[in-house]
A and B are shown apart, each in its own frame.
Chain A
């Protein structure tokens, strides 16, 4: 950990040098002690700023070897699974299990740790005339883009090679969606507590809840209300967990024969038309946006 922090301090220094050296910031630096909100910037500059910051974040993440390991892990697992089971559908099914387990976990933990580690850099940036929203967005997009690139390489290439098709595409898209949702949840968790250990603990708890506890609870509730019509309840419960949502989207491609055997008319209608996928994608989008908005709100109010 110490090593990591040192590394980050170094990085922070480097960033500072780079920022001071760049022309855009030169004038801004002079206004360092002014209230950032009094400075009005044109939108184009804002966008430019976001891209600029994104570049630093991305470069920083690239230097961190975690994402590289993640990519290699995904590549190894998917190649292994596909070459082990001759049937591509079976490969996708096992891969679905792994992706649903690993990608939320990694997104949560990595993002939380990264956020805490770049806290000093964030503090430094906050001293600049940059909107806080922009700072957080740069962190968010930096994390998302790097993790999604890892997914596309680690998962996309084997899927394309061994099992190209609708199921593979939905698996890839769904895992990207999951990553985005869980990165925003991680930022939220990291902003809820100041303590790094607590923050990581919180995100671990979130993962545990969404992966294990939630489904068990759901099964329990279903058994409790076994005599009642449960379509709306089941759908609502599925929507309240991004991992379940992701799973159902892939199931619609993978196990449609079984899902069509379900008795409920409403679900039947959802499954047989494209409505199911559309609805699930919409709810997934909410899962990406809502925690992020909340995190931004918290970050704006925060006394750094």
Chain B
């Protein structure tokens, strides 16, 4: 039962409208033109398209119909137009291979564009070389599922986003793979949506990018090797669980950039091989628990503008710098994390170190002020500086301290992506 919902919908349609017809499109059928078939259809009809390469310009859907591809159906825009435009509720598009939309900088052109409607399902499509992949504007309760979306790498300057949602509610984006677009998944003013099991990689800018999008849930996604990682801003009540962020390399590339994200939860994620795993700015009351930070340049760059965040029970393993910050004040709580650089002891054997751990090293403070000094990393002089600072802390922020660091690595379950293959750079 791979598509229980859509099958249910079809059954419902069939039962409600028993006279729903099936129209077949194709060269040797009554409807060589798909648009004619759409025009001829009555609401809740089904249109089946025979295999073939169709260069029939823009398809405009203004009534609730279901469209299926019978085999390999290529809808080719020939770089001249938008390919499918949906302006009706209850539309289903399944199994098409959509290719070559035009590319304008003045209008957002998409492979599939959904405008001001609800209950639209787009699944199992292959969207290739379109300016925007799937574009949802002012839509509610829509589903985007099992699509493969890849952009045109050569059109760097005016390429659009893979999955673009603007002003939407209760959408579900599931199991898609997005690559070579500007932003893999882009949300603006989207609420109550679920983003699950997507893979977003090798996009030019961000793997995931959202703003003003509250109460959304991101689970089991994989964001890797994107130009600037993942950036999320100006939102509250965001839940990010069990995602994988890896190989986001660069001076301004972050595994996850949090800018003014409030009251959110980030747990069970894996951050590995990023320049900076998490960069936080102006974010308050974010719970960061049970994440794994491994082999990053900086595991956590937490600016002084962040207040009341809880960083608890995370594993910090093999990062060049565990935590760095830009000021003296630090108002977040670090508690019971595992730090592989911790050198304290545990006399009463309760699993918690008896000496507090200061994750900010003096050298990371120096690097923050003087970036080129990064090249002195692991020099013996730096080692001496760090050691002396550990003994008599004076320059590192006083309150950024883990009072009860955990001695043994925290065994974390429920990390489903831990063993999946990643795209190495």
| Interface residues of A, Cβ cutoff 8 Å to B | 87, 89-90, 93, 96-97, 100-101, 211-212, 215-216, 218-219, 222-223, 226, 230-231, 234, 238, 244, 247-248, 250-251, 254-264, 267-268, 272
Contacts and interface: CB of A to CB of B under 8 A. Distances in A.
B298 A263 contact: no
B366 to A, nearest CB: 8
Contacts of A262: 251, 371-372, 374-375
B378 A90 contact: no
Contact of B297 (A93, A96, A258): A258
Given A87-B318, A257-B295, A219 B378 contact: no
B2 to A, nearest CB: 38
B251 A257 contact: no
Contact of B380 (A97, A234, A260): A97
B297 A259 contact: yes
A256 B297 CA distance: 8
B381 interface: yes
A215 to B, nearest CB: 4
20 contacts: A97-B378, A97-B380, A215-B382, A218-B376, A219-B373, A222-B373, A234-B375, A247-B377, A247-B378, A257-B274, A257-B275, A257-B296, A260-B250, A260-B251, A260-B275, A261-B253, A261-B297, A262-B372, A263-B251, A264-B371
A248 B366 CA distance: 18
Given A90-B340, A261-B374, A262-B372, 15 more contacts: A87-B340, A93-B378, A96-B378, A97-B383, A222-B370, A223-B370, A247-B379, A251-B377, A257-B274, A257-B296, A257-B297, A258-B296, A262-B251, A263-B371, A268-B250
Mostly, the A contact residues are helix
Contact of A238 (B369, B371, B375): B375
Nearest to A231: B372
B69 interface: no
Contacts of B251: 260-263, 268
Given A90-B318, A90-B340, A97-B383, A260 B377 contact: no
A164 to B, nearest CB: 17
A167 to B, nearest CB: 12
B361 to A, nearest CB: 12
A89 B372 contact: no
Contact of A100 (B321, B374, B380): B380
A260 B249 contact: yes
- Across chains A and B, which 4 residue pairs bring their CB atoms closest together, nearest first? A258-B297, A261-B275, A258-B320, A215-B381
B381 A216 contact: yes
Contacts of B296: 257-258
Given A89-B318, A258-B297, A260-B249, A230 B372 contact: yes
B276 interface: yes
B324 to A, nearest CB: 10
Given A262-B251, A264-B372, A257 B320 contact: yes
A234 B372 contact: yes
A226 B370 contact: yes
Nearest to B297: A258
B415 interface: no
A96 B376 CA distance: 13
Q: Size class of B's contact patch? A: 20 to 34
B210 interface: no
Q: Which of B251, B253, B274 has the most CB of A within 10 A?
A: B251
B370 A257 contact: no
B23 interface: no
A223 B251 CA distance: 21
B380 A259 contact: no
A258 B298 contact: yes
Contacts of B275: 257-258, 260-261
Contacts of B370: 222-223, 226
A227 to B, nearest CB: 11
Q: Which of A244, A248, A260, A261 has the most CB of B within 10 A?
A: A261
Nearest to A85: B340
Contacts of A244: 375-376, 379
Nearest to B374: A262
B318 A259 contact: no
B320 A215 contact: no
Contacts of B249: 256-257, 260-261, 272
B372 to A, nearest CB: 5
Nearest to B363: A219
A256 B366 CA distance: 19
Contacts of B374: 258-259, 261-262
B132 interface: no
A12 B220 CA distance: 74
A142 B113 CA distance: 75
B298 A222 contact: no
B72 to A, nearest CB: 39
Contacts of A259: 297, 374, 377
Contacts of B340: 87, 90
A140 B124 CA distance: 69
A257 B340 CA distance: 17
B273 interface: yes
Contact of B376 (A219, A226, A230): A219
Contacts of A97: 378, 380, 383
Contacts of A257: 249, 273-275, 295-297, 320
A251 to B, nearest CB: 6
Contacts of A216: 381
A204 to B, nearest CB: 16
A254 B376 CA distance: 14
A255 B320 contact: yes
B317 interface: yes
A244 to B, nearest CB: 7
Nearest to A212: B381
B3 to A, nearest CB: 40
A248 B274 contact: no
B387 to A, nearest CB: 12
A255 B380 contact: no
A94 to B, nearest CB: 10
A219 B381 contact: yes
Q: Which of A219, A234, A264 has the most CB of B within 10 A?
A: A219
A212 B385 CA distance: 11
A211 B380 CA distance: 7
A114 to B, nearest CB: 25
Contacts of B274: 257
A37 to B, nearest CB: 46
A244 B377 CA distance: 10
